[in-house]
Each structure stands twice: as C-alpha cells, then as structure tokens.
Amino acid sequence: MTRSIQLTITLPAPLAEVWKAWTTEEGARSFFARDCKIVLRPGGAYEMYFDREAPRGEQGGEGMILLAIQPEKMLSFTWNAPPSLPDVRGEMTHVSLYFSPISSQETRLELIQDGWGEGVQWDQAFDYFVSAWGEVVLPRLKYRFEVGPLNWDDPPVLGNREG
C-alpha cells in the first residue's frame, strides 16, 4: 500500500473563499507563508517562502509547481522536504487538495500528500509533514477564517505548537 498523509478539515467559509486562500498570493499570505509566488495554471509556480533571509534553495517551497487544477474542486502541486533533510529535499512529493461545499458557509477540505520514498530521511520528512500540515498549516487556515489573516510578526499559538 502506498504511504500517504490524509487530513480533513471543516472550514467556516464559503467554498469560493477557501479556494482563493489556496490559489491566490493574497490568500496564501493570509495563512500559509509570509511570501509566495502562485501562477495558477498547470506547470505554473506554487512557491511558498517561509524564510526570505535564508540562502536560495532553503527559503521554503522553492521550485514547486502546480500539477492540476479543477476550479473550486481540486488543486495539486509538488512539495519538497525541509532543508534540514538534504538527502530528500530535491525529491518531490505531491499534495492534492479536494474542496467540497458542506453549506453556503462551510467547506470541507481534504489534503492528501503522497509520493514518499523509503529510508530514514523519507521517514523523517513524512513525520515532519504529518505535524506541519495537521498542527500548523490547516489550523492556521481555520484561524484565518475564524479570526482573520495571520500577523506574521506575531503569529498565534495554535494547539501545542507555535502558530
């Protein structure tokens, strides 16, 4: 069986707003990363920059691309391991997001990340992303719709981790 991360969250927002949060630079900056580059077409950039002060290649999701887009239904992009895992950082996994309206004011989002290799650093990357998506990114997305866009100079504390 193929190893994958599968997470689902219900968001207090209309489908169109959740879609914009993932597919526009303004939206992504409201919860995902301080800076980003999104070119919304297959093969277009889907880059999230978590540390612009770091050397090139270590700033975040640099060089990531959009694989598939089904407006307000599905978004798929490549994703890399953090710089702390150099043996697998250059390898790409796939993240697919599935958007489903629950009501006019609620949306279900399913995140699936697959494409994992084998070995110690792959296991570390898998564990890292179980935590990163489930305890940081998705809670920040929910916070963005419940409270407002993140203040990157003073991010909220969410769950057991620094937001």
What is the pLDDT at residue 163? 36
What is the pLDDT at residue 14? 98
β-pair partners for 107: 11, 101
Distance CA 108, CA 122 (A): 29
Percent of the chain with pLDDT over 70: 96
The region, left, alpha or beta by phi > 0 then psi within -120 to 50, assigned to residue 154 is beta
What is the pLDDT at residue 159? 60
β-pair partners for 5: 113
pLDDT < 50: residue spans in the chain: 160-163
What is the pLDDT at residue 162? 39
What is the pLDDT at residue 157? 82
Domains and CATH numbers, the chain: 5-149 (3.30.530.20)
What is the pLDDT at residue 1? 62
Other beta carbons within 10 Å of 11: 22
